[in-house]
Structure 1
Amino acid sequence: MLLRRAALLLRNVGGISLGARTDDALTSLAAEMGEAKPDLVETIVGDWLVANAYLLVPPMVDDESEVEGSA
């Protein structure tokens, strides 16, 4: 419950205060990936929330998608 509240608060925050080492690592990684640092942070946090079962795993295939083979 606390993480959900924190996520709602973070959604409306313009910036996050990070330690120097963490900020440097994220800046380097974002530059290496060609991605904006806020987008990278959003991806990292979202993946962590899914991996720890705080968010549902997004469906990979919907009912309308074509698939090969049979089950």
Structure 2
Amino acid sequence: MLVENTAFEKHYRIGELAHMWGLGRETVRRLVKDDPGVIKIRMGRKKAHTVYSVPESAAARIHTRLLNGA
């Protein structure tokens, strides 16, 4: 799915995915941070203030990859 097509999908934040998947927030952040479908919103100059918005299709792809041990 192209990034443009994710605009109207449900989007998740790191905390929501961590809760749904039973993982820590930092673990989920590492899983999603380099995925091409994830939107990164920088809040200020520091990387510590980056908000990740994960489209449902990207979350499903990442979770499938996690389950398959890749």
Give the TM-score normalised by structure 1: 0.25
Greater relative contact order (CA < 8 Å, ≥ 6 in sequence): 2
Q: Whose radius of gyration is greater, 1 or 2? A: 1
Q: If each structure's strand is expressed as a fraction of its own residues, which one has the higher value? A: 2
Give the TM-score normalised by structure 2: 0.26
Q: If each structure's helix is expressed as a fraction of its own residues, which one has the higher value? A: 1
